[in-house]
Amino acid sequence: MSENKIRDWSRDPARSKEAILNAAEKLFASQGYEQTSLQQIGQEAGVSRGTPGYFFGSKEQLYGEVLDRLFEAEYASVEAVLQQTPRPDESPTERLAEVIGKFYDFLLVRPTFIQMIEREAINGAKFLQNRSGYLKLMNESLALIGPALVGPAFRPLDPNQLLLSIIGMCWFPLAHTATFLTPVGVDVADPAFWQARKNHIIDLVLNGILIKPVDNGRV
């Protein structure tokens, strides 16, 4: 890393901070918290070794900022759907299908989110306990699912169980491409597989909650 490049980054604090967060997310996800140093993050970001500490104070504080940013991105991926006013002709299942699709797409394009949460699971969620955005999406999704999916068209269901099933079906194949999908011959580089997987999840959920199954015309 040349000194000129480091100086160029230092002239733009906002750009430097963004570069540090991007580098930290990449390294924390791939190496874990313990194996990642502020010096490595600075090198990856193209800033001097002291710059991450200048902006974030400590590695733990930077790690928390990375988690918060990931949760904000997760929520933003479905926020518009959760907040929009229902159309008069809108079925509750339409909104649910859209939320599932947006959440799935977020996981697909942000693998570092899955990697970091998997590491947190192994370590007892040590750093998640005090993150304010941790359960925001889950809580608002439950607020949508609970009241909406009640009536003669729906099977009796526990919203918590339904939400856990949705998360699990979206999460598992993306978290285990190397351990389960590739060994059984799935081409994980094929976008058609992931689109078919999303359609499959939505169909399973909708047909599982409705008394009368529906044909959504999905491939």
Instruction: Please tell me which residue, 149 or 195, carries the higher pLDDT value.
Output: 195
Number of neighbouring beta carbons within 10 Å of residue 78: 21
- Residue-level pLDDT at 142: 84
Helix (H, G, I), strand (E, B) or coil at 154: strand
Evaluate if residue 31 carries a pLDDT over 90.
yes
Q: How far apart are CA 162 and CA 40, in angstroms?
A: 41
Average pLDDT, the chain: 89
- Rounded CA separation 192/76 (Å): 25
- 171, exposed or middle or buried, with CB in 10 Å at 0-12, 13-18, 19+? middle
Decide if pLDDT at 219 tops 50. no
Residue 178 sits in the same domain as residue 124: yes
Mean pLDDT of 168-173: 97
Q: Which domain holds residue 77?
A: 67-209
The CATH number assigned to the domain holding 84 equals: 1.10.357.10
Q: Give the chain's domain count.
A: 2
**What are the pLDDT digits (tens) for 92-144?**
788 889 999 999 999 999 999 999 999 999 999 989 887 878 888 888 888 87
Q: What span, in angstroms and rounded, lies between the C-alpha atoms of 122 and 99? A: 27
**Higher pLDDT residue, 4 or 151?**
151
**What H or E segment, with its residue span, contains residue 191?**
helix 191-209
Label residue 16 exposed, middle or buried (CB < 10 Å: 0-12, 13-18, 19+): buried
pTM above 0.85, yes or no: yes
State how far the alpha carbon of 87 is from the alpha carbons of 42, 100, 175, 200, in Å: 49, 19, 35, 25
At 178 the pLDDT is: 95
Q: Are 3 and 46 in contact (CB under 8 A)?
A: no
126 is a domain residue: yes
pLDDT at 7: 42
Looking at the structure, tell me whether residues 96 and 183 fall in a common domain.
yes
List strand residue ranges (DSSP E) for the chain, in order: none
Q: Are residues 80 and 168 in the same domain?
A: yes
Average pLDDT over residues 201-211: 92
Q: If you average pLDDT over residues 64-90, what whole number do you get?
A: 88
Q: What is the DSSP letter of 151?
A: S
Q: Does the structure show a pLDDT above 80 at 2?
A: no
Least confident of 53-67, 78-92, 195-209: 78-92
How many percent of the chain have pLDDT more than 70? 92
Judgement on whether residues 35 and 138 belong to the same structural domain of the protein: no
User: Do 77 and 177 share a domain, yes or no?
Assistant: yes
